[in-house]
Amino acid sequence: MYNVKGALATTLVAALLSACATNTVSTGEFRSPAGTGDIDSSSPGTAESYSYKLPITRNGATEERMAYSFWSGEWPMPIIDVSSDTSGTTKISGYTNLRDPKTSDKVSCTVQNGLYHPWSENEPSIINYYTLSAVEDFKVLKTITHEDSVYDPKTKKSKTIKMKIPKGSKIVNVVYYAEGYCGATVKIGKTSRPIDTHCSFIYDNKDLQRISKEGSFSEQWLYMKCEEKDSSGKNVKAFVRDEDLLSQPGIKKGCPAEYGKIQGAQYCGQN
């Protein structure tokens, strides 16, 4: 049975974005992923929790999607048990990229046994967790004010930050955290800043107009460090979708023990 790493992953992401909310940054400072398969690249000093857009190809069609480095939800699922009850390794298969994974991109990937989930403390081969979702962008029709309570680690107190968002601005890259909270980027002129807010501030706000097309899309991926080496002697890295990993031989579903704690399949009344 394993405990969550400090605060719950979803709460941590929200806290990270809140802490950044007082800083105005130019759009050029935001995450700028490199080539195919390098979703985890970023410019120096860029917070890894920012959401960003990527061209994603599925079934031959390419569309812009949101990408962010966590799994959403109050109880993120699934919990993936890779022989966590024994030491050693397990061979899985993944892809060298997740933007347009083809058969030619498939790689064998030997990973350390463990429980793979954002709450896990036994995930030795994980590099990161990613979610891809539909783009959610909005235009501000009338000047509005956003209020946010931000924790200041220096004073150890929370303070209310008010931000006026003028007509014509945009609220883009909206993603869901948990417990009714969302993250987004506010674009005012040439500047951008991240916010976290009640999702209702965006979705129930009559002064906002959706400018992205309607539609649903959601995938969760794991980015894994493999035991195999490439031609330069570095560890191979592989992306594997959660449901794909669960379908591979010997991989089982774990389950929650309680909020923030997970356990292996042997404790879940299955198999």
Per the CB < 8 A criterion, the answer to whether 148 and 198 are in contact is no
Given a cut of 60, whether residue 26 has pLDDT beyond it is no
CB atoms within 10 A of CB 227: 14
Residue whose token pair is 């999702």: 199
How far apart, in whole angstroms, are the C-alpha atoms of residue 19 and residue 93? Answer: 38
Closest CA to 171 of 131, 144, 132, 134: 144
3-state secondary structure string, 161-196?
A: EEEEECCCCEEEEEEECCCCEEEEEEEECCEEEEEE
Pairing of strands 144-152, 114-116: unpaired
> Which region among 36-50, 81-95, 221-235 has the lowest average model confidence (pLDDT)?
36-50
Where is pLDDT greater, at 17 or 90? Answer: 90
Q: pLDDT tens, 174-233?
A: 999 999 999 999 999 999 999 999 999 999 999 999 999 998 999 999 999 999 999 999
For 264, how many CA atoms within 13 A lie in the half-sphere containing its CB?
Answer: 16
- Specify the pLDDT at position 51: 87
Residue whose token pair is 């993250």: 183
Where is pLDDT greater, at 221 or 4? Answer: 221
Phi, psi at 266, each rounded to 5°: -65, -15
Given a cut of 60, whether residue 31 has pLDDT beyond it is no
Per the CB < 8 A criterion, the answer to whether 93 and 239 are in contact is no
Could you tell me the two tokens for 43?
A: 């410019």
pTM of the model: 0.80
Question: Residues 246, 250, 254, 260: is their CA dihedral positive or negative?
Answer: negative
Given a cut of 80, whether residue 260 has pLDDT beyond it is yes
How far apart, in whole angstroms, are the C-alpha atoms of residue 165 and residue 160? Answer: 16
- Specify the pLDDT at position 161: 87
Burial track 100-112 (b if 16+ CB lie within 10 A, e otherwise): ebeeebebebbbb
- Specify the pLDDT at position 270: 55
Closest CA to 57 of 215, 238, 217: 217
